[in-house]
Structures are given as structure tokens and as C-alpha cells.
Amino acid sequence: MNSFQNAETVNLWIIGYGNKHRRDDGIGQHVADRLKRSFGGIGGINIVSLHQLGPELADDLREATGVIFIDAAQGPLPGGCSFREIRPVSDMHRIVHSLTADALLGLTKLIYDRCPPAWMVSVEGSDFGFGEGLSEAAADRANRATGEIARVIHIRSKSWME
């Protein structure tokens, strides 16, 4: 965590999103809330939990040095979680009141002519019915994803600060 002491150089955004009222669809918010407990007070790290991504986030991301999106996946994933780099899309017909992560990056690029490096963490869910709280299997995968993101923050922080 010492590598994040220079808040003027690091502006990392972690955005967990999904519908908490559809059980495992709330995985993104769950992981973000857990990460807030460890990294929330550290300068230069912004962690938010949202129901959905909106175009107003482009203003927040324009100066970001990196962004990690976290969302639930409905299909099976190897190991229950995937971590992949994402790039902005230029097809803006997908811009509505909620966005995909790559469309949000595209909007940021379109408006501000820059876009931060970004990663999508998808965590496999198994119960997307109405209700609150994660299924046991999804909670286990969310815990693993939280640990993996924490490790990535520590490893990647040096390159974000350069």
C-alpha cells in the first residue's frame, strides 16, 4: 500500500456495478464494497458501487491513471472469474442511460480525447433471481476476486505512477 502514498500521481478508479436486488448480479458492488474496507482511505484510489454505469462517469475517468470495472457474469468462467484488459469502443449508438464499460471508455475518449487503461473483472454468478445477498458459490468467487484485485492494485501501482 505504500506505493499509493503519492495521490497526485495515482488516480485509480475501481467501479463495481450490478443489481443488488437480483442476488448474484450484485457481485460487482459486493467486491467494490469489500475493497473499500482495505483501500478506501488511501489517496488516489476511488472506489464506487453503482447499480449501473452512466455517462456522467466519463468526467471522473478523464484524469484516471487506471480503472478496474467489476461485474457479474451469467455464463461459466474458468476458475469462476476472468480479468481482461478492455478498450474503448467507438460505436456510440450504445450510449443510453446505462453503458457497458467499453462504451463508457469510448465516451470518455470521444469527449476528452483520452482514456485510461482499463480492465474488466467478471465474476461468475449462479443465482440471478429476485432477492438480496449472494449465493454461497458466488460469495466464494467474489472473495477470490477481491483478493486478486487487491494483489493487482499492489503490483500495477508502480506502473500507474510512472
All cell numbers assigned to 88:
474503448
Q: Is the pLDDT of residue 36 over 70?
A: yes
pLDDT tens-digit map of 149-161: 998 887 655 554 4
Provide mean pLDDT across the span 38-45: 85
**Alpha carbons within 13 A on the beta-carbon side of 9:** 10
Extract the C-alpha cell encoding 43: 489517496
Q: What is the pLDDT of residue 98?
A: 66
User: Which pTM value belongs to this model?
Assistant: 0.88
Burial 30-68 (b: 16+ CB within 10 A, else e): bbbbbbbeebeebebbbbebeeebebebbebbbebbbbb
pLDDT in tens, 80-89: 999 999 999 8
Q: Strand 81-86 and strand 118-124: pairing?
A: antiparallel
Residue by residue, what is the 3-state secondary structure of 67-114? Answer: EEEEEEECCCCHHHEEEEEECCCCCHHHCCCCECHHHHHHHHHHHHCC
* Structural domains in the chain, sorted by start: 2-161 (3.40.50.1450)
Q: Is pLDDT above 90 for 117?
A: yes
Looking at residue 2, its pLDDT comes to 32
